[in-house]
Structure 1
Amino acid sequence: MLVIAHRGGGGLRVENTLAAFGNAIRLGAAGAELDVRLSADGEVVVHHDACLNPAYCRYRGRWVSRTDRKRIADLAYAELRECDIGRRRTGTRYADKFDLVQDVDGERIPLLRDVVRLVKSESDRFFLVIEIKTPVLQAASQPWRTLVDKTLAIVETEGLGDRFTLCSFDWGALTYAMAQRPGTTTWFTTQPLSWYGDAPASEVDLQPVTASLIKLRTKYRMGSAPWFGGYDPRDFSDGYAEAIAAAGGHAWFMYHRDYSSEHASALLRHGMGGCAWSVNLRDPDEVRRVASLGADAICLDYPGSYTA
C-alpha cells in the first residue's frame, strides 16, 4: 500500500507548503496530495480553504483576522505572496490538533508549478494527487472548468508526465478532465458516507460544518446530487464502485473509515482501484486494517511513520 502525504504531510509541517512537500519526499512517501484553487488573476495556487486560513496565515506580518477572512478567489497572486503560512497560530484548534508540526517561517502560498518543479528536482518517482477544489454544492454550474484546464496545462508545460492524479469530490470535474486529456488518472473522492445518513455525524468521524452538512443532506435526499457528475451511485446496483467504473475513473478515493470488506469486494468486481484518505489519523492499527483490505494507497498527515 502506497503512502501519500496528505496536504504534503500536514501533521509534520504546515499543510500545502513547499516545506511540507520537501519533507514528504525526504521521508520516502510515494507522493503527496494537495489542493488547488484559482487566484483573482487566474493563477493556480495551492491552498486548502476557500479563504486565507487564520490558523496559520500572516498577511503583511499580521495574523489574518478570524472574522474577516479574505477569499483566495478575490486576491491576486501578488497579494497572496505577502502571506507567510509556515507557522501555526498559538492557541488555535489547528495548533492543538497538529501539535507535532515543525514551524518554518517564510513559507509562502505556492503556485502549482512551484510544487511540480520542487518534485521534479528532488525525485524521479514522487507523484502528486491534485485535488480540484471547488464548492460541491455549486457543482451544477461547473465551477471547475477553468481550474481543470489550467491545472492540466501546467502539468503538461512543466513536463510532469504521468506522475500525477486528479481527484475531486465533484466528479464532473474528473470526467471533464479525462475528456480534455485522455489518459489522465482520476481518483473519485467521497465525503464520509455517514454524512448522507440521518444521524448526527459520528464523533469519531471527521466533523463537517453543520450548515454545509444540512445543505448537502437536503440536496441528496431530494435526489439532486450534482457533485456526482451524472453518475449517482444510487442509480447503480453495485453502488459507488460501479458508478465510478461507469464514469471511467481509476479508483474510489474514500474516507478511511468507509474502507470495508464489502466495498473492497465491490472494487474487485469492477476492476477498480481503492484508496483511502484521512485527516490527522495517528492510529497504526487503522492503517494496517485498511492495508489488509487491499487498498492501493492511503493518504496520511504523518507519512514518515508508515512508509516502511
Structure 2
Amino acid sequence: MQGHRGAKGLVVENTLESFRAAYEAGVSGIELDVRLSADGEVVVWHDAVLLTHKAWSETPGLVGSRICDLTLEQLRSVDVGSQTLEGFPDQRPATGAHIATLAEVLALAVEHPSDVWWTVELKVDPTEPTEVAGRRLLVEKVLECLRGAGLESQSFVHSFDWAVLEISRDLAPSVARSALVEAGVTWEPGSPWTGSVRVSETHIDVCAGAAAVGAHVVSPEHVLVDDAFVSRARELGLGVLPWTVNDPGTMRALVEAGVDGLVTDYPDRAAAALADVVGAGASRRADGRDGGR
C-alpha cells in the first residue's frame, strides 16, 4: 500500500509530518507530487496554484499565485500545514509547515532506512505551455534528486503526462516508470496526455499505450480496475497500482482482483483491510479451499 501525498487522511498532505505519518502507518510506498518553482527548484506540492483553503501567508499576493511563478524563498514563507481539509475529519494539522523540496522529503529515507518505495508524481499539464516548456527540466531534476538520495532503484517516475515517462525512459532507462490514468480523460480520442501514443490509432487500449511509452506500471483511477483490466496488464508485463482507494471493501476487492498495490489517503485503514485479505488467503490455503494456488 502507498500513502497518498504522505498520509493525507491523517496529516495535512505533502508535509514532512504527513510523510512521517505514512511511515508510522507501515506503508510499503509513499506517493508525492512535484513541481518546479520559478527559480527551478523541485518542490513537493500537488496544486498548480496556492489555494486559500490550503495555504496562508502574511505576505499579500502569495496565496492565489501559481507555484511556477514563486521562488523557493517565497514558497517557504507560506504556511501550508495549519489548515485541515473539510471531508477529512481525522486529518491533523502540521502547524507552520512550509512547502519542502524533493531533496528534503527524500532525506526521510535516510531517517527511516527501509524498502519503502517512492512514487514521485511529476505534475505536468500538457495543455499548459509553461508546464510543457519546463517538462524536461523537471524530469532531469527529479532524476538528479533520486540519484542524490540513492533511491533510483526504489522509486517510480509517475505522471498523467506520458511524455514525462518517455523522457525519463530516454534519460534513465533503469528507473521504473508508472503511467497514471484518469477515467474519461487519459484514454480518449485526441488526448494530449498519452505522449507519442495516439488513442485507438497507434494502440488499441490503455494498457498497450502505457507499455508503449515505457511504463512498468499502469496506475488507473480505481473505478477502472477489474479482473479483465488486471489480466490485460499482466499480458503486457505491467504492474497495476490503482488510486485513490479509501473504502476498505474496495481495497479488499482490488487486492482479490490481483492488483500489485494501491494508493490511499488512509494507510492505517489499508493495513487493517489488507491484513484481513492476507489472513483469509492463509486460511483458504491451510484447509485446501485455495486450490493450491
Go from structure 1 to structure 2 and tell me whether the alpha carbon gap of 1:40 and 1:142 turns closer, same or farther (over 3 Å shift). Answer: closer
**1:86 aligned to 78, 81, 86, which one?**
81
1:21-40 superposed matches below 5 A? 21-40=19-38
**2:192 aligned to 222, 226, 234, which one?**
226
The answer to whether the 8 A contact 1:142-1:173 is kept is no
- Shift of residue 63, structure 1, vs aligned partner: 11
1:86-235 superposed matches below 5 A? 86-88=81-83, 95-138=85-128, 141=132, 143-192=134-183, 194-195=184-185, 220-221=188-189, 223=190, 225-235=191-201
- Shift of residue 62, structure 1, vs aligned partner: 8.3
Listed as ranges, the gaps of 5+ residues in structure 2 are 276-293
**2:246 aligned to 273, 282, 286, which one?**
282
Go from structure 1 to structure 2 and tell me whether the alpha carbon gap of 1:142 and 1:231 turns closer, same or farther (over 3 Å shift). Answer: farther
- Shift of residue 23, structure 1, vs aligned partner: 0.6
> Which amino acid is 1:88 matched to?
Q
**2:66 aligned to 59, 65, 71, which one?**
71
Listed as ranges, the gaps of 5+ residues in structure 1 are 90-94, 198-219
- Shift of residue 53, structure 1, vs aligned partner: 2.4
Give distance in 1, aligned partners of 2:241 and 2:15: 23
Cα deviation 1:137-186 (Å, max 9, x = unaligned): 24894541110011111111222231110110110111110110111101
**1:267 aligned to 222, 233, 241, which one?**
233
Give distance in 2, aligned partners of 1:196 and 1:176: 18
> Which amino acid is 1:105 matched to?
T
User: Greater relative contact order: 1 or 2 (C-alpha under 8 angstroms, separation 6 or more)?
Assistant: 1
The residue that corresponds to 1:292 in the other structure is 256
**2:54 aligned to 36, 53, 56, which one?**
56
- Shift of residue 56, structure 1, vs aligned partner: 2.1
The residue that corresponds to 1:258 in the other structure is 224
The residue that corresponds to 1:216 in the other structure is none
- Shift of residue 64, structure 1, vs aligned partner: 6.7
The answer to whether the 8 A contact 1:136-1:169 is kept is no
- Shift of residue 130, structure 1, vs aligned partner: 0.3
Cα deviation 1:102-154 (Å, max 9, x = unaligned): 11212111100011101221132122100010113248945411100111111
The residue that corresponds to 2:282 in the other structure is none
The answer to whether the 8 A contact 1:241-1:267 is kept is yes
> Which amino acid is 1:168 matched to?
S
Cα deviation 1:15-53 (Å, max 9, x = unaligned): 100000001011100111100001111110000000112
The answer to whether the 8 A contact 1:45-1:111 is kept is yes
Give distance in 1, aligned partners of 2:15 and 2:208: 36
The answer to whether the 8 A contact 1:57-1:64 is kept is no
C-alpha root-mean-square deviation of aligned residues, in Å? Answer: 2.2
For residue 178 of structure 1, give the secondary structure of its aligned residue in structure 2.
helix
For residue 99 of structure 1, give the secondary structure of its aligned residue in structure 2.
coil
- Shift of residue 305, structure 1, vs aligned partner: 1.3
The answer to whether the 8 A contact 2:163-2:194 is kept is yes
Question: What is the aligned residue count?
Answer: 271
Give distance in 2, aligned partners of 1:35 and 1:6: 9
TM-score by length of 1: 0.82
Go from structure 1 to structure 2 and tell me whether the alpha carbon gap of 1:301 and 1:64 turns closer, same or farther (over 3 Å shift). Answer: farther
The answer to whether the 8 A contact 2:2-2:28 is kept is yes
TM-score by length of 2: 0.86
